[in-house]
Each structure stands twice: as structure tokens, then as C-alpha cells.
Chain A
Amino acid sequence: MSALGHYIEEEGIPTVAVALVRPQAERTRPPRALWVPFELGRPFGPPSDPAFQKQVILAALRLLEAKARPVLLADFPEDDPREAPDPRWCPPIESPLPFPPPQAGEGMGGGFLADALEAEVAALARPYARSCAERGRTTVGLSGLAPAAAAEYVAAWLRGSPQDSPLADLSPVLCLRFAVDDLKAYALEAAITAGTRPSSRQLGDWLWNDTAIGAAIRALRRQLADSADDRTKLIGTMFLVPALRVMPGG
């Protein structure tokens, strides 16, 4: 975040920014920045590759020793080796229900997807637990709901029944957003297995093209896009399905 570099260095502390979007660093003009060619979300490059990550960190920190003047904008020369797919990776489960449904139309209603979502979340429990044990952690937790409870909450929205927030200090639609965040993390973490090195695209293709969770979140997006409430509509259209995964027509 290049603007932070201005504010903090003006207070007398040397800073170096990592920049994922080079034109932004060029225009914000922080004191020092290292542009990296990695995808958004990976400022230090590949996961589980300490040597590569250390190269990136040191390339950035060494700019602090440069006898230069602002603006010092350097480029990291190597691409992320994890952008390549791993043919050994395979999905953690088969879809627990016939999915996608055999024909569009009646069977594609929210009820079908709500059932499929809950069944899939249950089926992913074992691979998720195994993955958590392998990684020693989970990033699920923004909603404060256990995965099954998050699935139940999202499924209830899909079925169209009015929803109170199960959490005292979260509005219903904000709780929905966090529950969806958690379900995406839950599914993706279940798909991360030791010994394979899937690319983010492999994992995303599986989530958005081949799972009931992905289909249910897409359906929820379409449903909320028609909401009369502006905030619900905004969260539904902007904060559930990544822009690159939105299909024509929603």
C-alpha cells in the first residue's frame, strides 16, 4: 500500500512497499517499492516455498540500503512457479448429489441448490479436517459460524425464507457475506492436500465450475441482485462471486 509509505516515512521511519499493480506505485510514488509479477493475493509469491519467498522479501528490504533518492521503484525478475497447474491434484470429493442437475429449469431452484450445498459441506468435512491437520490451521472464521451452521444459514437464504442474523452484532446480509467467505475458504482448504501443488486457477475452476457450493453462491448472487434493499443488492452483486467468475447473465 504505497500511500502508507508516504505517511509512515514522513514520520521518520524508512519504508518499502511491495507493489502488485505497477501503475499504482508509479502514480502514488512511495519512497521505495518493489513491483512483483505475481497474481493478486500473493505479494510474496508461491505458498510453501520459503526460499522463493525469502528472495522476494530480501529484494524488497535491500532497497532500504540503496543510496538513492525517491522514487526508487524496482522490479522482481522471477514469476511465481506455482502459476503452473499440477496434474497430480484431484478434487477432494465427488459431488454428493447429481450435480449439475440434469436439466435447467424447475430442478435448478434454490431448494435443490440449498440441499446440494448442505450435503456437499457435510461431505467435505473429512477432507477439510485432514487438510487442517496437515496445515495446522484454518482461515475459516470470519462469520463465527461452524461450517455446517454457515451452510445452513446460506441455504436458508437460498430457500427464500426471511433470515435473522444468528450473530448479535452482524446484520443479516453482512452475516451472509461472511458465511459465504467462510464456505469458500472451507471448500478450498479441503482441496489443498499435502504432496500436491495446485495453482489457484485449478482450485478456483473446481470451486466455481464443479461444486454445489459454487453453484449455490452464484444462485444467491442472482437472487440478491433483484433485492429491493440497496445494501443487500450491493453485497449480493459485488461481494459473493469474483468478477472473473461471474457468468454472462449473472
Chain B
Amino acid sequence: MRLEELPAAQAERYATLECPSFNTTPWVEGPPLARRRVAIVSSAGLVVRGERPFRGREADYRVIPGATRADQLLCSHISINFDRTGFQEDWNVIFPLDRLRELAAEGTIGSVAATHYSFMGAAEPSQMEGAAREVAGRLKQDNVDAVLLPPV
């Protein structure tokens, strides 16, 4: 998003949103992309139809099986201040599972994870820590070594 194109007050609000601070930043390397197993961990409040939507600033997560189809995925992020028409037309705008499958089929990435995950990004980040570490454990069990973290 280009903040300079927003009304000044709104740009200022986004530019100064409270963010968590971290004293250090981790750094883990891995094999070339063509040998990586890639998962999506979204913060768009995605849920598989039939599962409980996010209702507030909940800090837990939802599981999105790799076999999920586009017609099964809903967005329950509590904010109404972002575009949803892109997702309505094409789920890859938020959750690019079709693109990852294509990249795997053509050999650009090694494989696509068996399971993906979604948080609801308006939750307090520090409250998401436990759930995020739990997701990391599940990703390791699936031999994932590349995580794509899209916002919304």
C-alpha cells in the first residue's frame, strides 16, 4: 500500500500503528527453493466453510488442509477496512494455493505443504506467540522449510 496516496489522517494512522518490538531477529537458512516445502501461514482470518469464524481479536489459528478448494474458504478477519472484492473474484489474491501448486508442478519450488494455517491479524501479536510456536511444531512435522506469511 502506498501511504502517500491515502488521505493524510489515514496514512498517519497506518504509519504509526502500534507494533511489537523485538530485540533480536532470527535467521534460518535452507536449501535452494527447488527443494523447499512451502506452507502459507496467513493472517487474513481465513476459515474453511463450516468451521467457526473468527469473532473478535482471537489469537488462535485455523487449519487449512492442502486439499481445500477455493469454494470452501471464507475470510472472517474482523476489519472491514480492506478490499474483499479481489478475494471474492480470486482466492489467490489472499491465499495463493493454486500458484504454489503450479510452482511445484514446474519445479520452481520443491513441494507444497500438506497443511496451511491462518491467524486473524488484528489479534494482539504477543498473545499469538504460543499458537504461532505450536503452528511451527506442526510445520516441522510436515517437513516444511519455507513459510510464506501474507497479511490482508
Contacts and interface: CB of A to CB of B under 8 A. Distances in A.
Contacts, number: 255
Given A142-B74, A174-B55, A40 B22 contact: no
B67 interface: no
Interface stretch (A56-64, A99-107, A111-119, A150-158): A56-64
Given A29-B22, A70-B25, A58 B108 contact: yes
B75 interface: yes
B132 A28 contact: no
A229 interface: no
Given A192-B89, A241-B80, A5 B149 contact: yes
26 contacts: A3-B22, A5-B149, A8-B133, A8-B135, A12-B28, A12-B140, A15-B146, A16-B148, A16-B149, A30-B25, A37-B1, A40-B1, A44-B92, A44-B99, A47-B86, A54-B99, A54-B103, A57-B103, A58-B103, A61-B146, A70-B25, A71-B25, A136-B70, A136-B71, A142-B53, A192-B89
Interface in A10-55: 10-24, 27-31, 37-48, 50, 53-54
A13 B140 contact: yes
A61 B81 contact: no
Interface residues of A, number: 81
A245 B98 CA distance: 33
Contacts of A65: 32-33
A92 to B, nearest CB: 13
Contact of A244 (B10, B21, B29): B10
B102 A50 contact: yes
B26 A9 contact: yes
A88 interface: no
Given A18-B150, A41-B87, A7 B129 contact: yes
Nearest to A65: B33
Instruction: Give the 9 A-B CB pairs with smallest separation, nearest first.
Output: A41-B83, A11-B136, A1-B43, A47-B90, A137-B71, A40-B82, A41-B82, A7-B132, A3-B125
Interface in A172-202: 174, 178, 181, 184-185, 188-189, 192, 198, 200
B128 A47 contact: no
